[in-house]
Each structure stands twice: as structure tokens, then as C-alpha cells.
Amino acid sequence: MSEIHAGTEQTGDVIRVRDLVTHYGSRQILNGISMEVHEGEIMVIMGGSGSGKSTLLRHLMALETKTSGQMTILGHNIDDLTMSEMSDLRKKLGVAFQGGALFSSMTVGENVMLPLYEHTKLDRATMDIMMRLKLEVVELGGFEDLMPAELSGGMIKRAAFARACVMDPKILFCDEPSAGLDPAVASALDDLILRLRDALGMSIVVVTHELDSAFKIADRMTVLDRGDILFIGTPAEIRRSSNDRIQKILNREPDTEEMDVDSYLERLTGEKAESDMYGSVQL
């Protein structure tokens, strides 16, 4: 049973998802997700490996084709958009990918400037100033001439934030911002996310499995479990939840599943097996 809290029908929703179902081949990944992201909030999407959180994020970024359901981004039903309308909508979205996804053939400055170069008619000097401003915001001032290969992991992520924010997007998506970073750098990135929200007033969607980071930055949290929403609510509400699976996540307990021995043997051998003597096994 899922728990839904905290104002799900506000009018200031920048993202609204209804009954989103998606498959990879014959495997169903999302089983009818419904959720909203309110204007100006930081929504953290959490869940274990294989819970569907990355797939959900790719849908929110309009990078995947859904099986069924409806999705509205900044008031636009994405099914109704023409190619040029979708292109216009994308200019209002920023994404900081898990690995940064900086273009390795360009300098940090050129990476940050690319959206301006492609989508605006600004002169080079103005683009230079905007690029340097964004790099200052992420504390990378003076690094614009370096190549991405010359940056550390934390610096690459900050440069990715600068590029994601250079067009002043309405919604910023962050995929595992603190993954693979040491705690101090991860905490600095959390502060950066909060600062971006406060300074630029954007709505931010963060996918993470880092509990400390999630509770530090989230206004609301969505917890996914095997393609279903387990919980939507504030960090305080999630702490109070009596749901067993939520408590396991909060207490960092491993996800276990009951499986009968025949299914277990079938998974190991790839062949159907029959047994009536072992009962069930714990995986």
C-alpha cells in the first residue's frame, strides 16, 4: 500500500504524471506512476536498484517513450507537442547527469556556453560573461579553459550544474548528484542544489539513493519500489511512516524477498525444477 501526503493537487505543479506505465521489451518497469512536482520545490526520488527511479527520471526529461499514461511538463501535455514545441520546452529544462556528460572535445567554458550558442543570438562577449557567472555560482571560476578530463569528479558535477543552469531553466533534473563523491564534496553539492533553488527559484528533481543527502535537500520525497510508488511526502512524514519497506530503507537494511525453492532452482539452473521437501529459501 502506498502513502501519499502533502498536497498532491496544487495548481502550481510544474510536472504532473498520471498512471505512467512503461516497458523495456516485455518487462514492465513502471506500474502506473502518478505524482506531481510543485513549483519551486526540491523533489527527491528515492528507491533501491531496479526500483525504476532512473527510468522515471528519463520519462520526466522526455527521453523515453511510455507505454501508457499522461505527463504534463510546465503545463504542456508532452503527447500533444510538435517537434519545435518540444524543442522550445527543452530549453526550459536543465539536466545534471550522473557522470556529468560534459563533451570531452570541448573546454569547460565551451560546454557551459553550448546551450547559449545553440539557442540564443547573444554575442560572444555576453555569452562569455554568462558562462563565467554560472561557473562562479558553482565555484569553478577560472576553470573555463580546462578540458573535462583535467577536472576531478566533484568539479565535473559542478560544471554539469553550471551547464544545466546556464539558460536559467524552470526545472532542473539531477541524476545521483552525490554518487561516487567523498562526503565533504557530496555535502558541498547538496548546498549547491539548495543555493540554486533559492537563488534562481527553479524547481529541482533529484534522483538519489543517498539518504543523508536526500533528507538534507528534499522538500518532498517520492519513494519507488519495484515500479510502484511506495510513499510521497515530506521528510518528516517519511520518518513517521510505519511502512515496513520504508523503515528498511531508512534503516539501511538489505532488500530481501521470499522465494520458493523451485523458483530459486529454476533461476540458478535456467530449467524448471520440482521440489516438495525444502519449503522456502531466503535470498
Phi, psi of 89 (to 5 degrees): -65, -40
What one-letter code names the amino acid at 133?
L
DSSP string spanning 30-91? EEEEEEEEETT-EEEEEE-TTSSHHHHHHHHTT-S--SEEEEEETTEEGGG--HHHHHHHHT
By CB under 8 A, tell whether 271 contacts other proteins: yes
Angle between helices 124-137 and 108-119 (to 10 degrees): 130
Helix (H) or strand (E) holding 197: helix 183-200
Q: Which one, 52 or 233, has the nearer CB to other proteins? A: 52
**CB distance 115 to 75 below 8 Å:** no
Select 78 or 86, whichever has its Cβ closest to other proteins.
Answer: 86
Select from 79, 88, 145, 182 the one that contacts other proteins (CB under 8 A). Answer: 88
Do residues 96 and 172 make contact, with C-beta atoms less than 8 angstroms apart?
Answer: yes
What are residue 178's phi and psi, to 5 degrees?
-105, 10
18 is a site residue for other proteins (CB under 8 A)? no
15: left (phi over 0), alpha (psi -120 to 50) or beta: beta
Mapped onto helix, strand or coil, the DSSP state of residue 23 is strand
Binds other proteins by CB under 8 A, chosen from 244, 258, 274, 276: 274
**Residue 37 Cα to chain centre, angstroms:** 12
- Kindly identify the residues of this chain, within the stretch 223-262, that bind other proteins according to CB under 8 A: none
Identify the residue among 9, 272, 277, 282 touching other proteins (CB under 8 A): 272
- When asked if residue 104 is in the footprint of other proteins (CB under 8 A), the reply is yes
Binding-residue total with other proteins (CB under 8 A): 30
Query: Closest CB to other proteins among 60 and 137?
Result: 60
x-or-dash string of contact with other proteins, 172-191, rule CB under 8 A? -x------------------
Q: Among residues 166 and 229, whose Cβ is nearest to other proteins?
A: 166
Using CB under 8 A, pick the residue from 97, 143, 161, 231 that binds other proteins. 97
Beta carbon nearer to other proteins, 102 or 249 = 102
Among 53, 66, 90, 157, binds other proteins (CB under 8 A): 90
CA distance 175 to 34: 20
Does 87 participate in binding other proteins (rule CB under 8 A)? yes
Binding residues for other proteins, per CB under 8 A?
58, 61, 63, 83-84, 86-91, 93-95, 97-99, 101-105, 114-115, 118-119, 173, 271-272, 274
